[in-house]
Amino acid sequence: MNKDYYKILGVGRNATQDEIKRAYRRLAHQYHPDKNSSYADGAKFKEINEAYQVLSNPQKRAQYDQFGTVGESGFEGFNWGETSGFDFRDFGGFGQHSRGFSFNFGGLGDIFEDFFGNVFSQVQTEVEISLTSALLGDQINLRTSQGESITLNIPPGTQDGTTFRFAGKGMPDRRGRRGDLLVTVRIRLPKKLTQEQKNLLEELRRTGL
């Protein structure tokens, strides 16, 4: 079934990348299985991740906008006969319907699957960490969209925006092969400090930190 990724994230088709990111963060927090028991099966969270990984990537988004709602192979909803300027009814060996075409590519289908399958099985997400975790290092337990528990090891001195890759922990493609999970850390700065915290930071500033 075709999916409207813009509708899933609740943004317009002209939404900026910042708007898409804000919408994703809000929805991911709202529907994360660990935070909302009503969505414990992770299906809604998985759908939100799928939409974000397409719309947050300029190349994937351009392909999606041009071809329509895309599936795992990247070609679902693409009317070759009209869009490419060729009428494939003039060629033998292709199955067809009155509008749009249903193709049998044989071995070419496997090539397209190999080339495009992992584009949409890769999952991108963000996690907030404290300033002290970034400076001193930490370990954070996370849960994948498939319900697995993984540990994110944060080395001392980790910078804001650093991305960690977990191979084979993303979404499964049509053949069951799983893409990678990319976790980007964002450093959470406190909006208010206690007097004790201010004094400690002043001491650190005097040391040149």
Strands 181-188 and 163-166: what pairing? antiparallel
The Cα 119–Cα 173 span in angstroms is 9
Architecture, CATH, for domain 5-119: Orthogonal Bundle (1.10)
The Cα 51–Cα 138 span in angstroms is 30
pLDDT digit string (tens) for the chain, length 209 residues: 468 899 999 999 888 988 999 999 889 888 887 777 777 777 888 889 888 988 988 878 887 787 665 544 443 433 333 333 333 333 343 333 333 333 444 444 444 445 445 576 788 888 999 999 999 999 999 988 778 899 999 999 999 999 999 998 888 877 778 888 999 999 998 889 999 989 998 998 898 87
Give CATH for domain 129-188: 2.60.260.20
- CA-based nearest residue to 186, from 209, 158, 167, 165: 158
The Cα 10–Cα 134 span in angstroms is 32
The Cα 138–Cα 132 span in angstroms is 9
What residue spans define the domains of the chain? Answer: 5-119, 129-188
First to last CA, the chain: 54
CA angle 72, 78, 79 (to 5 degrees): 150
Q: Do 125 and 182 meet the contact criterion of CB atoms below 8 Å apart?
A: yes
DSSP lists the bridge partners of residue 164 as: 183
CA angle 145, 112, 12 (to 5 degrees): 55
DSSP 98: S
Residue 41 is encoded by which pair of tokens?
């099966």
The Cα 138–Cα 95 span in angstroms is 56
Cut 0.75: pTM above it: no
Measured CA distances, 81 to 13, 116, 145 (Å): 25, 21, 37
Would you state the pLDDT for residue 32?
A: 81
